[in-house]
């Protein structure tokens, strides 16, 4: 049965974002109030927007037109596919571009409005000056006194000679005339025709005029005295209340960005499209269920916790735009669960510059673990150096391999560099092998072009028996499959960032023998284990994220967010960014029920140092694996 609704209640952006993140296949039909010619349909397959038609528009232009639609009725039909794909850009990129276009249009409109305001002010100012000049002219002439012609007794306001007979004008009023007759008024009537008013009626009018003047003076005096009293009281009031207002201001908590009376807003910049999209989706799922559980229980000290997650496609250039969008336009309190090292290279400096919390990122890179630690950066997980050290020690101390028999397969960016540096550090410190003697092969980010890396391993003069990997899941699966086809005895170990469940699924698609025996170090326990915290996670997952299976990535997001919520509870209702950081640094010895103790401190911004070992069995499932 199709799902129907109204765009006035559910925005088009939120509607598509839901089906995109949940990786569903659906057709979304929009009926516009403007009529059938303006209706549209948009197709989603596997979470990607692949085709759109809106009126006469198709493809990307149709999507942009639909994003601007605020009214209409929608209908969603699941498992309906399009005939031909016309859109190849990520959904989040289209949304971000449309938002930027709206902002530019708004700025242009504001600028034009300002210009019109200035023009109107200039016009009104000119009219006011002309009016003032017109009013001032007769006032100036009146101060010179009335004048009259001694010949015809005509009254004048300006000039020196009479216009009728040319006589010189005399200052004053003409004799025998009680009412002046200005030149611009009609001539007075002849004395034979003019009927003078009776003496008594004239006296009555004079008496009334004098009475009205007296009343006006009395009323004016009363109003003046009352206004003076009110003005004096108004001047005295601020002086009397100033100490009270100062006292209130001193105790009032200043506003904190991202925090209102009802909610605390966090932002996430992670990949929800591209080869690393499962990592972003997993972290968001984990954070979402932790926030949802807290909100259902009444929130954190009376406030609900909200997450705004945007897709950066695992590309630093997009991350740079998104973190600014979240901080400057969405007004978030801080960042949580951002995915990746190359993206962190641009987002961490921004967060530090703005003095914003950068919490629980899905990366073990050293740039987030400086000594001493950056004040606003807090990590939940163990580092890549700790993960790779555990793998190298297992291969050499337990499997009895020689250091020169171990190579590194790493992504060619900051993430790969961080993992390789971890291997090099333990090799140099414990096994006396320099970094330049370690064979490193790799691939470019957001690709699966691993053939050169495969050739580098297979054609090495020194026989390689094991490969420590620092990849994403698609590239890792292809690399393992190609190498195992030639060297089935090769041992592979990967760091946790690979996306364990996604890796297992990719490997199982290549065959059971390819998947079996692959080692993955983890920063959380098995998501199917029976510990206290994991059981709670398993209980909440189907309630708040229908259809999702337990996964290492979403478990990490859940654990990190749960620890953050505990910090907010301890911080109380009235906090600032600085007092909240102080609260985080005071959290020590936290037992969350996973077999490890979590602590922060002024010199310790990494909660956990625990590394778990796991291995893929013959069914494609992960099992615990002892690395020591």
> Which DSSP letter does residue 522 get?
E
What percent of the chain clears pLDDT 70, i.e. is strictly above it?
76
Q: Are 78 and 55 in contact (CB under 8 A)?
A: no
What pLDDT does residue 160 have?
74
Average pLDDT over residues 184-201: 42
Average pLDDT over every residue of 142-151:
58
In this structure, the number of other CB atoms found within 10 A of the CB of residue 129 comes to 10
If you average pLDDT over residues 552-560, what whole number do you get? 97
What stretches of 471-579 adopt beta strand conformation (E)?
491-494, 519-522
Q: What is the pLDDT of residues 207-240, one digit of tens each?
A: 555 555 555 555 555 555 665 566 655 555 555 4
| Residue 100: pLDDT band with limits 50, 70, 90 | low
- Residues 6 or more apart from 445 whose CB is under 8 A from it? 314, 342, 411, 412, 413, 415
Coil/strand/helix, residue 181: coil
Contact 446, 314 (CB under 8 A): yes
pLDDT of residue 188: 40
Q: Exposure string (b/e) for 380-401, b if CB count within 10 Å is 16 or more?
A: bbbbbbbbbbbbbebbbeeeeb
How confident is the model over 249-283, as pLDDT tens digits?
Answer: 444 556 899 999 999 999 999 999 998 999 999 99
H or E element, residue 479: helix 473-486
pLDDT of residue 225: 61
Q: What is the pLDDT of residues 367-421, one digit of tens each?
A: 999 999 999 999 999 999 999 999 999 999 999 999 999 999 999 999 999 999 9
Sheet holding 519-522, edge to edge: 440-443, 406-411, 466-470, 491-494, 519-522, 612-616, 622-624
**Which of 577, 554, 106 has its CA nearest to residue 332?**
577
Confidence tier at 7 by pLDDT (50, 70, 90): confident
3-state helix, strand, coil in the chain (%, to 5): 45, 15, 35
Asked if residues 345 and 316 have their Cβ atoms less than 8 Å apart, the reply is yes
Residue 452 has pLDDT above 60, yes or no: yes
How high is the mean pLDDT of the chain?
83
Query: What residues does each domain of the chain span?
Result: 3-95, 136-186, 263-378, 384-624
Q: What is the pLDDT of residues 122-146, one digit of tens each?
A: 555 544 444 444 433 333 333 355 7
Distances (CA, A) of 308 to 17, 331, 428, 599, 616: 12, 10, 43, 27, 34
Task: Identify the weakest region by mean pLDDT among 140-149, 321-330, 451-460.
Answer: 140-149
pLDDT-derived band at 305, boundaries 50, 70, 90: very high
CB neighbourhood size of 22 (10 A): 16
**CATH class (in words) of the domain with range 384-624:** alpha beta
Domain 263-378 has CATH 1.25.40.10: no
Mean per-residue pLDDT, 468-490: 96
The sign of the CA dihedral 6, 8, 10, 11 is positive
């Amino acid at each position: 049965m199709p799902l129907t609704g109204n765009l006035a209640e559910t925005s088009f952006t939120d509607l598509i974002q839901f089906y995109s993140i949940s990786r569903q296949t659906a057709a979304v039909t929009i009926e516009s109030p403007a009529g059938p010619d303006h209706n549209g349909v948009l197709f989603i397959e596997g979470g990607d927007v692949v085709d759109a038609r809106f009126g006469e528009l198709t493809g990307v232009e149709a999507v942009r037109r639909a994003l601007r639609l605020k009214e209409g009725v929608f209908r969603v039909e699941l498992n309906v596919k399009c005939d031909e794909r016309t859109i190849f850009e990520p959904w989040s990129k289209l949304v971000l571009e449309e938002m930027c276009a709206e902002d530019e249009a708004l700025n242009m409109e504001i600028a034009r409005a300002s210009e019109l305001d200035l023009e109107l002010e200039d016009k009104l100012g000119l009219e006011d000056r002309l009016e003032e000049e017109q009013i001032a002219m007769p006032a100036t002439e009146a101060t010179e006194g009335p004048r009259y012609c001694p010949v015809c007794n005509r009254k004048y306001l300006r000039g020196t000679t009479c216009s009728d007979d040319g006589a010189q004008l005399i200052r004053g009023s003409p004799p025998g005339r009680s009412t002046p007759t200005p030149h611009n008024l009609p001539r007075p009537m002849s004395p034979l025709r003019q009927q003078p008013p009776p003496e008594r009626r004239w006296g009555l009018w004079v008496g009334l005029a004098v009475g009205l003047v007296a009343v006006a003076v009395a009323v004016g005096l009363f109003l003046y005295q009352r206004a003076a009293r009110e003005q004096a009281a108004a001047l005295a009031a601020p002086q009397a209340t100033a100490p009270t207002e100062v006292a209130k201001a001193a105790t009032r908590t200043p506003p904190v960005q991202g925090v209102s009376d009802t909610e605390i807003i966090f932002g996430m910049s992670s990949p929800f499209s591209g080869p690393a999209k499962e990592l972003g989706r997993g972290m968001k799922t984990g954070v979402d269920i932790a926030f949802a559980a807290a909100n259902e229980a009444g929130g954190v000290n009376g406030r609900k916790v909200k997450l705004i997650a945007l897709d950066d496609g695992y590309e630093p250039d997009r991350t740079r735009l998104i973190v600014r969008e979240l901080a400057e336009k969405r007004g978030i309190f801080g960042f949580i669960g951002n995915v990746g090292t190359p993206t962190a290279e641009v987002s961490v400096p921004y967060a530090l510059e703005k003095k914003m919390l950068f919490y629980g990122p899905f990366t073990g890179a050293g740039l987030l673990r400086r000594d001493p630690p950056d004040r606003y950066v807090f990590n939940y997980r163990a580092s890549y150096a700790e993960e790779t050290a555990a793998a190298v020690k297992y291969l050499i101390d337990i499997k009895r391999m020689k250091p020169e028999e171990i190579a590194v397969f790493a992504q060619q960016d900051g993430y790969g560099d961080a993992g390789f540096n971890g291997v090099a550090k333990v090799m140099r410190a414990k096994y006396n092998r320099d970094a330049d003697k370690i064979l490193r092969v790799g691939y470019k980010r957001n690709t699966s072009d691993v053939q050169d890396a495969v050739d580098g391993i297979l054609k090495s003069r020194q026989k390689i028996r094991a490969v420590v990997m620092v990849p994403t899941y698609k590239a890792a699966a292809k690399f393992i499959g190609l190498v195992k086809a030639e060297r089935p005895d090769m041992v592979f170990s990967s760091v946790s960032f690979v996306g364990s469940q996604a890796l297992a699924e990719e490997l199982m698609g290549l065959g059971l023998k390819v998947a079996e025996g692959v080692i993955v170090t983890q920063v959380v326990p098995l998501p199917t284990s029976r510990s206290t915290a994991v059981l709670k996670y398993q209980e909440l997952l189907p309630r708040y994220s229908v259809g999702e299976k337990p996964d290492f990535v979403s478990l990490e997001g859940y654990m990190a967010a749960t620890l953050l919520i505990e910090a907010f509870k301890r911080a109380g209702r009235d906090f600032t960014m600085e007092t909240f950081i102080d609260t985080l640094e005071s959290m020590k010895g936290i037992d969350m029920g996973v077999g490890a103790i979590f602590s922060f401190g002024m010199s310790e911004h990494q909660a956990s140092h625990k590394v778990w070992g796991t291995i893929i069995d013959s069914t494609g499932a992960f099992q615990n694996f002892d690395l020591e």
